[in-house]
């Protein structure tokens, strides 16, 4: 008589028959320790889950997400560390079907993400379902005292409430035209370059920027397409306007974060003029100054429009000592305030002596402004 032994689940079956059969029992255990969490607008709640095959053989489990709140999104991310704590490096999406051997476990996160425009106390949810090959294959107790099998499907509902709401708008600083701060009644160029620094306390949280001219022309930039105007890394914004016709202008800059908080800055009134010349009296400072001490003097003047301007410096006898030409739209030749430097040297790089010197601003062979500079190097 032949006796066969069959080992399974820590128990031994004896039979006088060569052919024996063991039933397959299906079952799973689904554990979700924290089914409700808190999020910020646009933020995600990572709810840890563990799936364990408690059948007596391999099983294939299907994973599904359903009934996610409108506007919210849900996905499944693998818990690589198997510790129930989401690490930023854990971003592998889970397959829709996973095979598990007997007694094996799989660790994952059900991720519920709030919309960027969510408001405080908004509630989102999703339903996570796991199902195997059989809904219920029955149960049995092995010789080891463990129960195998049972329902071969499980379900959990995950929810998150919006608690941390961003109410702080972005910050706009260094709102300049052509690289300079502007004041009411300033004269500006036909083609002003707008620049600013736009930042938010939350990194990469600026969502939209608008630039308006006289509340009519609107230029819009969004995080989906900054059109090269905005750099998220350093917050710098730059955009070339114009050319414009002469007139009075109001230029506004708006910025919104992804929670729709708004910031704005306004420059008004600004003028583009048609006349040619210097507005007011040119000045220089310091005056007197000492080139031998390493000092320079700043010659400041306001142009009525963008012009080609040549700056001459003469000695008291009328001999030209120094000359520079500035093109339209660049410092020295742009509409509005200009400031250029002179180091007290001639075009031959010689330091000029103590005395009074005359500077003249010339456009199209016409003097449009002038002033006096004194060099005084005390020995």
DSSP per-residue codes, 339-368: EEEE-SB-TT-PBP-SEEEEEEEEETTEEE
pLDDT digits (tens, 9 = 90+) for 1-59: 334 444 444 445 555 554 545 577 888 889 988 778 999 888 999 999 999 998 888 99
The answer to whether residue 77 scores a pLDDT higher than 60 is: yes
| Least confident residue range of 149-153, 306-310, 327-331, 358-362 | 149-153
Backbone angles phi, psi at 130, to 5 degrees: -120, 130
pTM: 0.57
In a domain, 17, yes or no: no
Instruction: Decide: 358 and 282 in contact? Cβ < 8 Å.
Output: no
CB-count burial class (<10 Å; 0-12, 13-18, 19+) for 184: exposed
Last residue of a domain, one of 240, 272, 304: 272
The answer to whether residue 150 scores a pLDDT higher than 90 is: no
For residues 181 and 267, membership in a common domain is answered with yes
Last residue of a domain, one of 162, 191, 220: 162
In a domain, 38, yes or no: yes
pLDDT (mean) for 371-379: 89
Instruction: Decide: 94 and 78 in contact? Cβ < 8 Å.
Output: yes
pLDDT band at residue 151 using 50, 70 and 90 as cut-offs: confident
pLDDT digits (tens, 9 = 90+) for 122-144: 999 999 999 988 766 677 666 66
In a domain, 20, yes or no: no
pLDDT digits (tens, 9 = 90+) for 203-238: 899 999 999 999 999 999 999 999 999 999 999 999
For residues 295 and 247, membership in a common domain is answered with no
User: CATH code at 49?
Assistant: 2.60.40.10
Share of the chain above pLDDT 90, in %: 76
In a domain, 16, yes or no: no
In the chain, the number of structural domains is 3
Last residue of a domain, one of 162, 189, 221: 162
- pLDDT computed for residue 119 by the predictor: 86
For residues 340 and 369, membership in a common domain is answered with yes
pLDDT digits (tens, 9 = 90+) for 83-117: 999 998 999 999 999 999 999 999 999 999 999 88
What is the overall mean pLDDT for the chain? Answer: 90
For residues 256 and 291, membership in a common domain is answered with no
For residues 107 and 48, membership in a common domain is answered with yes
CB-count burial class (<10 Å; 0-12, 13-18, 19+) for 127: middle
Which alpha helices (DSSP H) does 105-178 contain, by range? none
In a domain, 45, yes or no: yes
Cα 56 from Cα 58, distance rounded (Å): 7
Instruction: Decide: 28 and 53 in contact? Cβ < 8 Å.
Output: yes
Residue 9, C-beta contacts closer than 8 angstroms, at least 6 positions apart: 56, 142, 143, 144, 146, 148
Domain that holds residue 100: 25-162
Cα 106 from Cα 29, distance rounded (Å): 11
Cα 149 from Cα 138, distance rounded (Å): 6
pLDDT digits (tens, 9 = 90+) for 167-204: 899 999 999 999 989 999 999 999 999 999 999 998 89
For residues 221 and 329, membership in a common domain is answered with no
């Amino acid at each position: 008589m032949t006796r066969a032994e069959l080992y399974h689940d820590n128990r031994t079956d004896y039979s006088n028959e060569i052919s024996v059969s063991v039933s397959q029992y299906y079952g799973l255990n689904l554990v979700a320790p924290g089914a409700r969490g808190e999020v910020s607008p646009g933020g995600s709640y990572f709810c840890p889950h563990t799936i364990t095959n408690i059948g007596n053989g391999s099983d294939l489990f299907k994973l599904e997400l359903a009934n996610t709140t409108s506007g919210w999104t849900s996905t499944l991310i693998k818990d690589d560390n198997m510790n129930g704590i989401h690490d930023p490096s854990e971003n592998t999406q889970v397959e829709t079907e996973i095979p598990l051997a007997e007694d094996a476990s799989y660790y994952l996160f059900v991720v519920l993400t709030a919309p960027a425009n969510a408001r405080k106390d908004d509630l989102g949810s999703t339903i996570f379902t796991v199902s195997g090959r059989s809904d219920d294959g029955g149960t049995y107790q092995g010789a080891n005292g463990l129960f195998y099998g049972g329902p071969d499907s499980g379900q959990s509902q995950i929810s998150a409430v919006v608690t941390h709401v961003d109410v702080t708008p972005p910050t706009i600083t260094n709102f300049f035209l052509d690289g300079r701060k502007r004041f009411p009644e300033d004269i500006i160029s036909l083609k002003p370059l707008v620049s600013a620094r736009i930042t938010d306390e939350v990194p990469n949280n600026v969502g939209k920027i608008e630039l308006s001219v006289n509340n009519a022309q609107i230029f819009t930039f969004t995080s989906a397409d900054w059109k090269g105007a905005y750099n998220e890394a350093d917050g710098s914004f730059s955009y070339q306007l114009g050319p414009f016709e002469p007139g009075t202008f109001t230029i506004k800059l708006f910025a919104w974060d992804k929670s729709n908080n708004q910031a704005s800055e306004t420059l008004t009134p600004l003028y583009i003029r048609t006349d040619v010349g210097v507005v007011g009296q040119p000045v220089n400072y310091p005056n007197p100054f000492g080139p031998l001490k390493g000092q320079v003097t700043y010659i400041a003047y306001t142009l009525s429009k963008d012009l080609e301007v040549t700056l001459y410096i003469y000695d008291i006898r009328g001999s030209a000592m120094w000359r520079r030409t500035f093109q339209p739209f660049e410092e020295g030749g742009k509409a509005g305030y200009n400031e250029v430097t002179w180091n007290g040297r001639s075009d031959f790089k010689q330091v000029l002596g103590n005395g009074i010197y005359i500077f003249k601003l010339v456009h199209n062979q016409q003097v449009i402004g002038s002033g006096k500079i004194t060099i005084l190097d005390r020995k």
